[in-house]
Amino acid sequence: MKKVDTSLIVYPLLMAMVMVGFYLFPLPGYSAYLYPLELLMVGFFASAIVTKSGHEEFSTFFKGLGVVFALYTLPLSFGHNETLAMSVFVLGLSIASLASKLSPGLDLIVRGIGVSLAVLSPYLLVKVPVVKWPFLYLSLIIALVYILAAVEKVMGGSGFLEENIMGVIAISVLLIGYGFLKHYFRTTLGRYYIYIEWAVVLASLVIVSSMITSYFSRQDFSEYLVGAWKRHEAELGLVEDEELKNARAAVQAFVVEGDASALVAFLTSYLKTMPREKLEGLLRPLVTYCPKPLGIWTPPWLVKKMKESELERRVKLVKELLSTLKEVERL
């Protein structure tokens, strides 16, 4: 029997109940909440429809649209600007949620539009000019950086802008923020404001140099890691052991690249007679292994050091695994 998606029934039913309730129980002030509620449920109903039709990537977008229209029409005690700011913020996040499933280039443009709208929302909310205007300029810069990154990607560029979007935005925040607050620093700190200026310049230089160094010092560490692995291979005794000789490629894939799938498949087949509980205990460290993430501004020398450390960690894990395996074989 085919399962029915209850959301396709629940949302229309709720919409009908709200509408009927409005006419049967015309309470004071109830009518003001009718349209926001209906619009909210229309958005969630549309989300359920696109999910059912196999387009889950649009689900969050339609839910967000429902929230946007509900917020904008809701009779809140806030002013119009506050309601508009909240609506624009949710709309921006909803648009950005579409980016992950779009084609390369277009995904950056859509994400840029969404993020810039979300950043623009404080501009609509704040009334103090010195705080308000930086958000407008930052929003425009974010949109511009994402568009330029998309153009670079479509034209087959190196991907420098896409990889360093956060760095470019961070520099923009520093420079725009300082530009708007420069007069304030001068009047309140006097001659000491120069230290703030130097701090901004130094921070910008650190970010720029980190991005450029990372770009020009890209290295393929695979050959280096293979060489490091060869130094450990003899210690593991895979060559001498006839039964484990076939596992060499799988072990190398895990130690060098961190890919445990081939090794898990080999051990599952090799130890098919082992009780399930023991097999699970033996494979758990492999299945749960997760390398430490690298930051987008991690300098090359630290990347090399961290990759070496991860390789040593994986070698140690394999040694412990083989030691356990030999103990099991003796039993």
Residue 31 located in a structural domain: yes
Residues 6+ apart with CB under 8 A from 140: 116
CA dist., res. 175 & res. 263, Å (int): 50
Residue 320 located in a structural domain: yes
CA dist., res. 249 & res. 263, Å (int): 8
End residue of a domain, out of 32, 48, 75:
75
CA dist., res. 22 & res. 149, Å (int): 50
Task: Count other C-beta atoms under 10 Å from residue 99's C-beta.
Answer: 19
The helix, strand and coil proportions of the chain, stated in percent and rounded to the nearest 5, come to 80, 0, 20
What's the pTM value of the predicted model, to 2 decimals?
Answer: 0.59
Residues 6+ apart with CB under 8 A from 198: none
Residue 58 located in a structural domain: yes
End residue of a domain, out of 24, 56, 75:
75
Tokens 């980016």 belong to residue? 99
CA dist., res. 69 & res. 42, Å (int): 10
Q: Are 161 and 145 in contact (CB under 8 A)?
A: yes
When divided into structural domains, the chain yields a total of 2
Q: Which residue in 71, 180, 155, 83 sits closest to 124, CA to CA?
A: 83
Residue 108 located in a structural domain: no
Q: Residue 297: what pLDDT?
A: 56
Residue 147 located in a structural domain: no
- Residue 79: strand, helix, or coil: coil
Identify the sign of the CA torsion 138, 141, 147, 152.
Answer: negative
Write out the chain's pLDDT in tens, 331 residues.
Answer: 455 567 677 777 877 887 777 777 666 666 677 778 888 888 888 888 888 887 777 888 888 888 888 888 877 666 677 788 888 888 888 888 888 778 888 888 888 899 899 988 888 887 777 777 878 888 888 888 888 888 888 887 766 777 777 778 788 778 877 777 777 777 887 777 788 878 878 877 777 777 666 665 554 555 555 666 666 666 665 555 555 556 777 777 787 778 888 888 888 887 777 788 888 888 888 888 888 776 655 656 566 777 778 888 888 888 888 777 766 655 5
Residues 6+ apart with CB under 8 A from 217: 299, 300
Residue 186 located in a structural domain: no
Residue 179 located in a structural domain: no
Q: Residue 234: what pLDDT?
A: 61
Region of residue 156 (left: phi > 0; alpha: psi -120 to 50; beta: else): left
Residue-range definition of the domain harbouring residue 270:
222-330
Residue 270 located in a structural domain: yes
End residue of a domain, out of 75, 102, 121:
75
CA distances from 306 to 132, 211, 287 (A): 42, 18, 21
